[in-house]
Amino acid sequence: MKISADKKILLPALARIQGIAEKSSIKPITAHVLLQAKEKMLIVAATNLQIGTKATYLVNAVHEEGEILVNARMLFDIIKEMPDGVIDIEEKERYTVEIKSGKKVKFKISGFSPEDFPMTASDGAKNFVAIKRTRFLEMLDVTYFSMARDETTINIHGAYLENIEGGITRIVTTDGFRLSIADENFETPPPLTAGILIPYKGIIELHKILHEKKDEEKIYLFTDDRVFYVRVGEIEYSIYLIEKKFPDYRVIIPGDGYKKFEVMLPRDELIPALKRMAIISNENTRPVLFTFKDKKLDIRTEDSDIGMVNETLTLTHEQKAHTEEIAFCLNCSYLLDILLAVQDDIFVEYNIEEKNKPLIIRPVKKKDQVKYVVMPMLMD
């Protein structure tokens, strides 16, 4: 294999696979990137055996076709420090790779045989469905933060994607303490015969690339029993699905028919207030007490070993003044995560009849599309 390619092509191509290729691994395949030169194109591929990706780039020249495995992190660091301009990459004897920038800089690093590399990305023969990138990204924006990060809870260590009645596509995430739901009505729904559970790392990679590829109007989706395929421009992902069953999240959502207190909270005032609360509450995961009365919201938290903070907000949105005091405790970070995600004021719905029941939180502009269910914390 021998190619010439501009640094402007190579650097972003290698940067994109750094979140997938593992930095240290006893398996060379998962720590390495596959470089495959074919006709006038360079294919860059990586896998951690859970997520596979490949992307095809037009390069300056393919002098000799071929393929080689190279350490992904080392190659990225080398290309990053090379002078701007054309870089030559050539496979030498015994899988040695020579990387040159003109006559000034030359690296030689060890590579591996590519024969066992699993090219899991799609082969183009599948029936992909096109959906709008911005609308799918918005669904991820408002839900991805509440996925369980602990791999021991594998059945919630990701995002659940399903099509529901009425032609609606839904994404659901939970970490066991809060639940996020986003609905979207695509012209052509993603091709799902049943709900699928996309792993945490796959969602993180998708979220990142969908933000990066702002010029792409559409993305292309396909799934089979084991793999979720996504195309975004020149990049393809193959994400192996979690085979565990996602919990029945519907039983957690409060039904109708109970006496409730609903209030609209202003995002721009609440975020700085919650950040001040977090200085105290985040030290020992202390609850934050929210008290409503007469169109005023009092927010308070304290720790006997650290101190306390108290703040009062006047609620200017048009809503009925509640003469009886309503109080509940929340994890400050959970509410802050929601406000940062939705970029909007929020409605908070609280069950007056039964304390310690879940709260429902919705953004004002997408009240019918986005919903959060948050468990309150016990008051001290």
Distance CA 33, CA 25 (A): 13
Alpha-carbon distance of 231 to 264, in angstroms, equals 39
Q: 99 with 152, same domain?
A: no
285 and 181 within one domain: no
| The model's pTM | 0.91
Which tokens sit at 325? 């005091």
Which tokens sit at 38?
Answer: 């074919």
Last residue of a domain, one of 227, 249, 271: 249
Residue pLDDT, tens place only, 76-85? 999 999 999 9
> Of 84, 112, 140, which closes a domain?
112
pLDDT at 122 over 60: no
pLDDT band of 353, cuts 50, 70, 90? confident
Structural tokens at position 276: 């001040």
Q: Once rounded to an integer, what is the mean pLDDT over residues 368-376?
A: 95
Report yes or no on 117 lying in a domain. no
> Is the domain of 85 the same as that of 144?
no
User: Does some domain include residue 92?
Assistant: yes
Q: Are residues 268 and 237 in the same domain?
A: no
| Judgement on whether residues 176 and 97 belong to the same structural domain of the protein | no
Last residue of a domain, one of 225, 249, 273: 249
Residue 292 pLDDT exceeds 60: yes
Whether residues 244 and 164 fall in one domain: yes
Q: Are residues 141 and 39 in the same domain?
A: no
- Report whether pLDDT(120) > 80: no
Average pLDDT rounded to a whole number, residues 343-363: 91
DSSP state of 27: S
CATH number at residue 28: 3.10.150.10
Count of structural domains, the chain: 3
Q: Which range of residues forms the domain containing residue 324?
A: 257-374
